[in-house]
Structure 1
Amino acid sequence: MEQAPLLPAIAWLAASEEPAVRRAAHREFLGTPWPGGDVSSGRIVSSLLAGQTSDGGFGVHPYRKWTGAHWRLVSLVDLGVTGADAPTLPDAAGTVLDWLHSDQHLSQVRTVNGLTRRCASQEGNALYVCARLGMAADARVARLARDLIRWQWPDGGWNCDVDASGRRSSFHETLPAAKGLHAYWEASGDPAARAGAVRAAELLLEHRLFKSSSTGRPIDPRWVKLRYPEFWHYGILPALLLMSRMGLAGDPRTQEAADVLRGKMLADGRWPVEGAWWHPPGAKGQTDVTDWGRTGPNEFVTLSAVRILSRGLPAAVPTADPAGWAGSHA
């Protein structure tokens, strides 16, 4: 995608009220130095950091949806928050590692017909977080990578369904696992992690990221909806972002999904959110600790879309705020 159509969205992101979003726009799209500011002071980031206890957790099981440390950390790292921004993040990651390596948790790993049945999104998301937080040298983190590689199915993915035939993996479990292995390879240089991520990406690419190989139609209509955060759910937005990070955005098999994403750009240059996997604080159901926005143009969906579509383009500073969005966050 040419740079010019993205400039309104970049200008909007650069004027965000959330410091983490502004920093991402400056560093990733504008090529300009971050002018500074406390990233942890933003509404979203401060909500995700709130309530941390002395043991590093947040007073609930690490995997509690969507308020446990597991989910908070993925959201924080996706926004580019690091241990330098919030020094207690490695402590929170430690509680996740303790859970994943506990005897109780590991006893849930099953092998049926020679295939490991494992919710690999759990290890995958944790591996992604720890690699991004500079924890790749931790032996517990290296074990996550080894386990994921050991559990990988012949088709390149992972699946936790004990009743599955073994013919096909779960895209929901495969995307986070691939994301974690790729991040771990970037942090550690482990070639086995790279190979595992590439095998998983090939599975997704075989299906044009969202299509049935037999019918050519979307495997699940929800996969083409733009939602944020995705947590463990599959969709073209996180899939395209991973392909971009892996240097696979130029693969022709990504183009149909990318065209769907381009087609969802609003007339004003932003991207909408199309549903949510979460409920806002205080609501019934699986609530998040913050409100990411459930309708209309969405900063976080737009940030992902621009990250995907700007990959490989030279940074260019918008000369003006073309839509007058500075301070406007509808």
Structure 2
Amino acid sequence: MAIDPALLDWLLDSDPALRWQVERDLAGAPPEVWQETRSRVATEGFGARLLARQDPDGQWAGGAYFPAGHDFESEEPGQPWTATTWSLNSLRDWGLDAGALAGTAELLKANSRWEYDNLPYWDGEVDCCINAYTLANGAWLGADVSGLARWFVEHRLPDGGWNCDWVEGSKRSSFHSTLNSLKGLLYYEQAGLGSAELTAARRAGEEYLLERRLLYRLATGEQVAYWASRFVYPFRWFYSVLNATDYFRSAALFDGTTPDPRLSDAIDAVRDARGPDGRWIQERRHPGAVWFEVDVPAGEPSKWLTFYGTRVLEWWDGAVVGRTT
């Protein structure tokens, strides 16, 4: 079904970081159009503002995952989102050309250490989500993160997925950790750096979520938690069925496969959250310091969520029509 022209115009009236993706995935613009818009991420709007915050040593806010001097005993809700890893995640998600960060991989290798055990930046640490971000960011910036790729094969749990609490002895996978791990592995493969072993690990992780239909506990059939159907942008490390179905869309397009029917409940949850005007509402903001806001406050229609929701439904509905005609 074609997107409503008024809705499309609303989405196109946005920062280059979002606009180029709307042009490519929803408006059907030719490559020369969306690529030109994408090139402006480095010089305009969110991308340019975040690039300007980079420290001379290659980091942001003086730290790897947390800002320099972060008070780990603070009782403030949430966490800061300003340090190096979160800044790189945003720039990569917004489609910044890696050339705009030429030399950053080398600077981080020389200057950045993880808050956990002072480990070297590109070697990763023990947290699955952090390592997944580092795997993707390293592939993007040209760092050697092949050791991290092997780490994911070695640390997959018996039920198929991953859990950041494995270091505390957990033997059961987590929705959050598994999705973030999958996103990192897929990006690494999309960069042409995959292997049969990595693909097998990724498929096993996907099966962990698909067995649970992206929403439910395997043992009881109950919804895993309220956060599964709560939609917030930026996604950060949090699981939601919108975040997950968008991942499965990307994976299916990369693998050349049709949507798995076990996604249907999650797709219904995404569809049910869409308002009569075709827009999705920002349900909250993840608490914690940011460089600047990139989406609307809670309770307002979100262009980012509307883009992701519309893209997922167009993929699903188009594939379903293709299967039945």
Q: Does TM-score exceed 0.5, indicating one fold?
A: yes
- Equivalent residue letter for 1:294: P
- Equivalent residue letter for 1:45: G
Paired residue secondary structure (1:290): coil
Residue 68 (structure 1) aligned to one of 45, 69, 83: 83
Change (3 A) 1:312 1:257: closer
- Equivalent residue letter for 2:118: Q
Answering whether residue 104 of structure 2 is matched by residue 91 of structure 1, we say yes
CA distance, structure 1, for counterparts of residue 115 and residue 103 of structure 2: 16
Unaligned runs of 5+ in 1: 110-116, 279-285, 315-330
Residue 133 (structure 2) aligned to one of 114, 125, 128: 125
CA distance, structure 2, for counterparts of residue 122 and residue 93 of structure 1: 19
- Equivalent residue letter for 1:48: L
CA distance, structure 1, for counterparts of residue 106 and residue 232 of structure 2: 25
| 1:181-206: CA deviation from partner (whole Å, max 9, x where unpaired) | 11111222422222111111110111
- Equivalent residue letter for 1:88: L
Residue 273 (structure 1) aligned to one of 275, 279, 282: 282
Task: Report the counterpart of residue 301 of structure 1 in structure 2.
Answer: 305
CA distance, structure 1, for counterparts of residue 53 and residue 161 of structure 2: 35
Change (3 A) 1:101 1:288: closer
Task: Report the counterpart of residue 328 of structure 1 in structure 2.
Answer: none
| 1:114-165: CA deviation from partner (whole Å, max 9, x where unpaired) | xxx942000101212333x252xx43x1111111111111112222324555
Paired residue secondary structure (1:30): coil
- CA drift at 1:8: 4.5
Paired residue secondary structure (2:227): helix
CA distance, structure 2, for counterparts of residue 25 and residue 197 of structure 1: 27
Whose helix proportion is higher, 1 or 2?
Answer: 2
Change (3 A) 1:89 1:173: farther
Answering whether residue 178 of structure 2 is matched by residue 174 of structure 1, we say yes
**Bigger relative CO (Cα 8 Å, ≥ 6 apart):** 1
- Equivalent residue letter for 2:65: Y
CA distance, structure 2, for counterparts of residue 92 and residue 298 of structure 1: 33
Task: Report the counterpart of residue 321 of structure 1 in structure 2.
Answer: none
Answering whether residue 19 of structure 2 is matched by residue 22 of structure 1, we say yes
- Equivalent residue letter for 1:47: R
Normalised by the size of structure 1, how large is the TM-score? 0.78
- Equivalent residue letter for 1:290: F
Q: CA RMSD in A?
A: 2.8
Answering whether residue 247 of structure 2 is matched by residue 253 of structure 1, we say no
Answering whether residue 211 of structure 2 is matched by residue 206 of structure 1, we say yes
- Equivalent residue letter for 1:183: Y
> Is contact 2:64-2:115 (8 Å) kept?
no
Change (3 A) 1:297 1:249: farther
- CA drift at 1:312: 6.9
Change (3 A) 1:270 1:228: same
> Is contact 2:278-2:306 (8 Å) kept?
no
Answering whether residue 199 of structure 2 is matched by residue 194 of structure 1, we say yes
CA distance, structure 2, for counterparts of residue 175 and residue 214 of structure 1: 20
CA distance, structure 2, for counterparts of residue 259 and residue 96 of structure 1: 44
Paired residue secondary structure (1:182): helix
